[in-house]
Amino acid sequence: MPPPAAPETADGVSRWDRKRAAILEAAQEAFFANGFVGTSMDQVAAAAAVSKQTVYKHFSDKETLFREVVTNVVQVRDGGISPDIFSSGDGSIEERVGSFARGFLRGVMQPQVLKLRRLVTAEAGRFPELGQSFYDLGPKRAAEQLALALRDASAQRGTTLEDPEFAAEHLLSLILSIPLNRAMLLGDHIAFTDAALDRYADEGVAVFLRAYGLSNRA
Amino acid sequence: MPPPAAPETADGVSRWDRKRAAILEAAQEAFFANGFVGTSMDQVAAAAAVSKQTVYKHFSDKETLFREVVTNVVQVRDGGISPDIFSSGDGSIEERVGSFARGFLRGVMQPQVLKLRRLVTAEAGRFPELGQSFYDLGPKRAAEQLALALRDASAQRGTTLEDPEFAAEHLLSLILSIPLNRAMLLGDHIAFTDAALDRYADEGVAVFLRAYGLSNRA
């Protein structure tokens, strides 16, 4: 539904946008605390200090609201991976892929991203469409974008990746899986230092580049 | 608590063991259907057709019962990885590691193992000790056993792995992560053919062996 013609306020944010943001914030908290089934549109309206009618004006149903929460949270960790991140700019390919890997891993390991992943995993048996949103906007999109970047980096070196998307998924597996699995199974009290996360990223990248013949090192 | 002196029945299974098995089966079903919080010892007793007192004779509390369910389910997929699986027997190292990888991935992707992983992931925020059981008996033990097997395989080739446990975790990440992540996020209706799983295993092994200099192929 398009927003009604709302006058902008002094800070340039319309009342419509402010309400939308309040609803999304309240919804995220409610979903994290009570799960998808345990959250009602009534609760969200109350927590956002708006009417239930207003919630429905912004989001037609609970699934739509959830999907917007996923979009919001996943965007935090992923500003878009451009196709030239590995093939242009300064530094060796080790440095470029390493820099991407460190940043991406830190994003994935942010508490609210982990909470969301846990939530959609928990509900995936009953509500696979929630996990599908997370998967499409998160791992799938990242792998597709990374595949383009890896294809360009290979082409620049005169080689061809047989299956860039498979390669991208291997890279993501090598960077993310060890700390991510631990966090998922051992709970939110497991904290990794930045140095520990950087080591997972660096070691994963080194294995990837060696295996795919993209390393300058022996 | 030790079993009381129970006479064995005609098929060699004591009544004690039969009741224990019935309780574990009922508990597994209840946990999968209703989660940890949603399952009571009363329900388990009723489903196993024994008294609540009998349940407590076998399992002192719900946590203990859950841990035994985890042990049971995880054992299904993991008969123990011997230190010489890669360094003895017939075939190239590609074939030996490949054979392990295919079998291990199929085990991890069995429906009841996936359900258990989803369950402990869901509860890990509130009950990290449940995930800890799964982690200790599953991924952690597998990585420790694999590390010994990889160390021996390297030694046999006259090389030394700097950090065999890290290498083992990379191997597991490469074999398991892509299909496992999909299953966790997309729900139990996602089914992989054996051929698709074998391809994930084979490609993961190829990347691992190339990266770690264990491949005979160029």
Residues 6+ away with beta carbon under 8 Å from A94:
A205, A206, A209, A215, A216, A217
* Phi and psi, residue B50, nearest 5°: -130, 170
Please provide the distance, in angstroms rounded to a whole number, between the alpha carbons at the two ends of chain A: 57
Residue A87 has pLDDT above 70, yes or no: yes
- The pair of structure tokens assigned to A161 is 């990746």
Q: Give residue B73's pLDDT.
A: 86
Mapped to the 3 state alphabet, what secondary structure does B121-148 carry? HHHCCCCHHHHHHHHHHHHHHHHHHHHH
Q: Give residue A79's pLDDT.
A: 55
Greater confidence (A126 vs B196) lies with B196
Q: Give residue A29's pLDDT.
A: 94
- From the list A122, A139, A189, the residue facing B181 with the nearest CB is A139
pTM of the model: 0.89
- The pair of structure tokens assigned to A89 is 């700019």
Q: Give residue B85's pLDDT.
A: 87
Residues 61-90 of B with CB under 8 A from A: none
Reported confidence tier of residue A218, pLDDT bands at 50, 70, 90: very low
Greater confidence (A35 vs A210) lies with A210
CB within 8 Å: B121 and A124: no
Residues 6+ away with beta carbon under 8 Å from A179:
A105, A109, A192, A196, A197, A200
CB within 8 Å: A170 and B207: yes
**Residues A53-82, mean pLDDT to the nearest whole number:** 86
| Rounded distance between C-alpha atoms, residue A191 and residue A196, angstroms | 10
Chain B interface includes A189 (CB < 8 A) = yes
| Sequence-separated contacts (24+) of A16-19 with Cβ below 8 Å | A19/A48, A19/A50, A19/A54, A19/A58
CA B114 and chain centroid, separation? 9
| Rounded distance between C-alpha atoms, residue A115 and residue B126, angstroms | 12
Q: Give residue B71's pLDDT.
A: 86
Count the residues in chain A.
218
What are the residues facing B8 on neighbouring strands?
B14
Q: Give residue B78's pLDDT.
A: 53
3-state secondary structure of A191: coil
- From the list B122, B135, B207, the residue facing A186 with the nearest CB is B135
3-state secondary structure of A14: strand
Which percentage of chain A shows pLDDT scores above 90?
63
Nearest C-alpha of chain B: how many angstroms from A49? 28
3-state secondary structure of A152: helix
Q: Give residue A3's pLDDT.
A: 56
Residue A78 has pLDDT above 60, yes or no: no
Among candidates A167, A146, A161, A171, which has minimal Cα distance to A86? A146
Q: If you write DSSP's letter for every residue of chain B in order, what string do you get?
A: -PPP---B-TTS-BHHHHHHHHHHHHHHHHHHHHTTTT--HHHHHHHHTS-HHHHHHH-SSHHHHHHHHHHHHHHHH-----TTTTTSSSS-HHHHHHHHHHHHHHHHTSHHHHHHHHHHHHHTTT-HHHHHHHHIIIIIHHHHHHHHHHHHHHHHTT---S-HHHHHHHHHHHHHHHHHHHHHHH-TT----HHHHHHHHHHHHHHHHHHTT--S--
Q: Any idea of the CA torsion for B105, B108, B112, B115, to the nearest 10 degrees? A: -120
| Rounded distance between C-alpha atoms, residue A140 and residue A149, angstroms | 14
Q: Are B181 and A147 in contact (CB under 8 A)?
A: no
Q: Which residues of A touch B128 (CB under 8 A)?
A: 186-187, 189-190
Question: Which single residue is written with the structure tokens 């999109």?
Answer: A141
CB within 8 Å: B173 and A174: yes
- The pair of structure tokens assigned to B97 is 């590691």
Find the residue in A nearest to B35 (Cα): A122
Average pLDDT of chain A is: 89
Write out pLDDT tens, residues A148-199.
999 999 998 888 999 999 999 999 999 999 999 999 999 878 889 999 999 9
Chain A interface includes B140 (CB < 8 A) = no
Nearest C-alpha of chain B: how many angstroms from A66? 15
From the number of C-beta atoms within 10 Å of its C-beta (0-12, 13-18, 19+), residue A55 rates as buried
pLDDT tens for chain B, 218 residues long, are 555 555 556 666 789 999 999 999 999 999 988 888 889 999 999 999 999 999 999 999 999 999 899 888 887 655 578 888 888 888 888 999 999 999 999 999 999 899 999 999 988 888 888 899 899 989 999 999 999 999 999 998 888 999 999 999 999 999 999 999 999 999 978 889 999 999 999 999 999 999 998 887 64
**Which residue of B181, B199, B212 is the best one to mutate when testing the A interface, meaning the one whose CB has the most A CBs within 10 A?**
B181
| Rounded distance between C-alpha atoms, residue A49 and residue A47, angstroms | 5
CB within 8 Å: B185 and A125: no
Q: Give residue A1's pLDDT.
A: 52
Question: Which single residue is written with the structure tokens 């002196």?
Answer: B5
CA B16 vs CA A22, B2, B12, B49, B67: distances in Å: 58, 10, 11, 14, 19
Residues 86-115 of B with CB under 8 A from A: 115
Chain A interface includes B134 (CB < 8 A) = yes
